Amino acid sequence: MYTLLSGLYKYMFQRDEYCVLILGLDNAGKTTFLEQTKTRFNKNYKGMSLSKITTTVGLNIGTIDVGKTRLMFWDLGGQEELQSLWDKYYAESHGVIYVIDSTDEERLSESKRAFEKMITSEALEGVPILVLANKQDVETCLSIPDIKTAFSDCINKIGKRDCLTQACSALTGLRTRNPLC
């Protein structure tokens, strides 16, 4: 009898869970994006002050429920030492959000190398990717065409997966749609 009731309960109330990785170099805006997302989609979530967000050491986790679906976001630290741990999370992920700091032209090639290493992992084959060109609210930011040019040799390595680039500002919530992939 317990098994029947347990099964009925799970059928009626269990949510489909999907894990989404948030990756990118340190200071790209990954945690700010996660905090904005949690604030917008969780009615009772107060959120932390965006001005008090510091560099992530390890990971931050956020959960959002949308209908019968639960999205679990894993915001992984982007320092070079921590990037070697990213692949430990790939097998569990159903999607990747890769955040690029559009104001940091000096580190754009470093960001591209991290992106390229990530997309060539067999564990992420076929996993959809959202590329966020963050900090578009800053006048001196790189444009989407500039970022497309810098990442152009990665396009062939993306393979047969959904990929979209979104220009945004995690700080202000500004977003526009500009395809890169």
Q: Which residues are annotated as a binding site for Mg(2+)?
A: 31, 56
Q: Which of 36, 79, 83, 166 is catalytic?
A: 79
Residue ranges for the binding site?
24-31, 56, 78, 134-137
CB 169 within 8 A of CB 101: no
* H/E run at residue 20: strand 16-23
Residues 180 and 146 sit within 8 Å (Cβ to Cβ): no
Read off φ and ψ for residue 24, nearest 5 degrees.
150, 170
Residues annotated within a binding site for GTP: 24-31, 78, 134-137
Q: Considering Cα of 90, then 148, then 57, then 83, what sign does the dihedral take? A: positive
Q: What does the alpha-carbon distance between residue 21 and residue 76 come to, in Å, rounded to a whole number?
A: 7
Q: Is 83 a catalytic residue?
A: no
Give catalytic residues, as residue numbers. Answer: 79
